[in-house]
C-alpha cells in the first residue's frame, strides 16, 4: 500500500507541475486536468480499495475467484474489445462519457483466468494440461494486437512467464520465442506506422525529421539533460511540448530530466519495492487461485514498468505502454488498485473477532 501510494503521489505531482509549463495546456483549466476526467475518481478508488484490503475477509476473495465470475469478466472485456474493433475502430472506446482503452479490463481478466486455471494444478505445471488458458490468451492477444500490439505482448507475456514461474518445462522456450517472433513480425508488417517505429528504433538519429524518430531522440536528450540532480520539477524543456505523449509513454524521460538520475533511481527503487512486496504477498496466499492471480499481477506490473522504461531509453521500439501509477490514467489506477486489493485480501487471515480468553471474561 505504501509503495503504491508513493508512486501515485509522485505521478500526480509530476503531471501537475509539467502541465503548468506545457505549451499546449489550458492555463484556465482546473487542477490536475492533464489527467483524464477520472483522475480524482482514480485516486479515491485507489485509496479506498487499498484500505479495504486489510479489513475485508478472505471469504470475499473466495467468492471473486470463481470460474463463473472470471468467465463473465472475460465476456465483458471481449465485448469492449469487439466495440473497439468493429464500431470505434480504434484502441479507445467511450461508454457513458468514460474514455478508456478496450484492452485495459482484459489485462486483469487474463490474470484472473490464470489463477482459476492453475489453482487445480498439483506440483509443477505442464503446459499441455492447460489448453483452455493458452487458447483463450492467444485469441485475446491476437484481437488486442490489431490496434495495440504492446498490450497484446503484455497479456501474452504475462501468461507465458507465469507458466514458467509455476514450473513449466523450459524446453518450450525456443518454440515459444519462435512463435512469438513470427506473429510479432506479421503484426508489425500489417501496419505502416509499426514499420516506421522499428526503423526509428534501429536508427533514431537518422530519422529525427520523422515523428517516430523525434520521439526517441527527444526522450534520450531529456534523460541526458537531466544529469545527476535534474533541472527541477516543472522546469524541464521537454515537458513544454517538445516531447509527444510525455504524460504516458515517455513519462520516464520527463522524470529523468526533471529529477535526474537520483529521482529516477528513487522511483525505480519504489517500483522494485512494490514488485518484491507483491511477490511475497502472492506466495503467502492460502487460496491457490489467489496465489497465482497475485503472481500474474506482479508479473504484469513488472513487465509494464520494464517496457515503459526500456522504450524511453531506446532499448525497445515505442509500444504505448504506460508506467503504473505514474503515467496519466484514471480507469487504469482503479483496475490496478482492485487487483492489488485482491492479492492483499487473500494474503491476510479472515478478520473475524477472536473469542475472549477465560481470564478476560
Query: How does DSSP assign 255-275, residue by residue?
Result: HHHHHHHHHHHHHHHHHHHHH
Choice among 164-168, 214-218, 241-245, 347-351 with the minimum mean pLDDT: 347-351
pTM for this one?
0.85
Here the cell at position 196 is: 516506421
* Contact residues for 244 (Cβ-Cβ < 8 A; gap 6+): 211, 214, 215, 250
User: What does the pLDDT read at residue 34?
Assistant: 41
Least confident of 35-39, 61-65, 183-187: 35-39
In Å, how far from its chain's centre is CA 70?
A: 19
DSSP state of 159: H
Taking only the tens place, the pLDDT of each residue in 246-271 is: 777 888 998 899 889 998 999 999 99
* Span 2-49, pLDDT tens digits: 787 778 777 766 665 555 555 444 444 433 344 444 555 656 666 666
Q: How far apart are CA 14 and CA 305, in angstroms?
A: 17
pLDDT of residue 33: 40
Alpha carbons 81 and 72: distance in angstroms, whole number: 14
Torsion of CA 347, 350, 356, 359, to 10 degrees: -20
d(CA 332, CA 252): 18
Cell of 181: 517472433
Those residues whose C-beta lies under 8 Å from the C-beta of residue 232, and which sit 6 or more positions away, are 258
Please tell me whether residue 134 adopts helix, strand or coil conformation. Answer: helix
Closest CA to 55 of 341, 290, 355: 341
First to last CA, the chain: 37
Residue 306 scores a pLDDT above 90 = yes
pLDDT the model gives residue 93: 84
Cβ 118 vs Cβ 292: under 8 Å: yes
Amino acid at each position: 500500500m505504501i509503495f503504491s501510494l508513493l508512486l501515485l503521489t509522485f505521478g500526480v505531482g509530476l503531471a501537475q507541475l509539467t502541465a503548468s509549463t506545457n505549451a499546449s495546456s489550458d492555463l484556465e483549466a482546473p487542477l490536475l486536468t492533464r489527467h483524464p476526467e477520472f483522475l480524482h475518481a482514480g485516486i479515491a478508488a485507489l485509496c479506498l480499495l487499498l484500505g479495504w484490503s486489510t479489513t475485508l475477509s478472505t471469504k470475499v476473495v473466495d467468492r471473486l475467484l470463481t470460474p463463473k465470475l472470471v468467465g463473465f469478466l472475460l465476456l465483458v472485456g471481449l465485448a469492449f474489445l469487439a466495440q473497439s474493433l468493429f464500431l470505434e475502430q480504434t484502441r479507445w472506446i467511450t461508454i457513458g462519457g468514460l474514455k478508456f482503452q478496450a484492452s485495459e479490463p482484459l489485462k486483469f481478466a487474463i490474470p484472473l483466468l490464470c489463477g482459476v486455471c492453475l489453482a487445480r494444478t498439483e506440483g509443477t505445471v505442464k503446459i499441455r494440461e492447460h489448453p483452455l488458458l493458452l487458447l483463450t490468451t492467444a485469441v485475446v492477444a491476437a484481437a488486442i494486437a490489431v490496434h495495440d500490439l504492446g498490450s497484446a505482448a503484455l497479456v501474452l507475456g504475462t501468461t507465458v512467464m507465469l507458466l514458467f514461474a509455476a514450473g513449466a518445462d523450459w524446453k518450450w522456450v525456443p518454440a515459444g520465442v519462435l512463435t512469438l517472433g513470427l506473429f510479432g513480425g506479421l503484426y508489425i508488417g500489417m501496419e505502416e506506422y509499426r514499420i516506421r517505429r522499428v526503423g526509428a528504433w534501429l536508427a533514431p538519429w537518422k530519422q529525427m525529421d520523422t515523428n517516430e524518430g523525434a520521439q526517441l531522440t527527444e526522450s534520450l536528450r531529456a534523460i541526458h539533460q537531466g544529469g545527476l540532480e535534474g533541472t527541477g520539477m516543472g522546469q524541464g524543456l521537454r515537458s513544454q511540448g517538445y516531447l509527444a505523449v510525455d504524460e504516458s509513454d515517455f513519462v520516464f524521460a520527463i522524470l529523468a530530466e526533471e529529477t535526474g538520475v537520483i529521482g529516477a533511481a528513487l522511483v525505480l527503487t519504489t517500483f522494485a519495492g512494490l514488485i518484491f512486496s507483491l511477490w511475497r504477498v502472492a506466495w503467502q496466499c492460502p487460496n491457490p487461485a489467489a496465489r497465482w492471480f497475485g503472481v500474474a499481477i506482479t508479473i504484469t506490473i513488472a513487465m509494464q514498468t520494464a517496457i515503459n522504461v526500456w522504450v524511453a531509453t531506446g532499448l525497445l521500439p515505442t509500444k504505448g505502454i504506460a508506467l503504473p501509477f505514474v503515467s496519466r490514467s484514471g480507469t487504469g489506477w482503479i483496475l490496478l488498485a482492485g487487483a492489488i486489493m485482491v492479492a492483499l485480501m487473500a494474503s491476510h487471515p479472515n478478520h473475524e473477532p477472536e473469542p475472549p480468553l477465560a481470564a478476560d471474561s
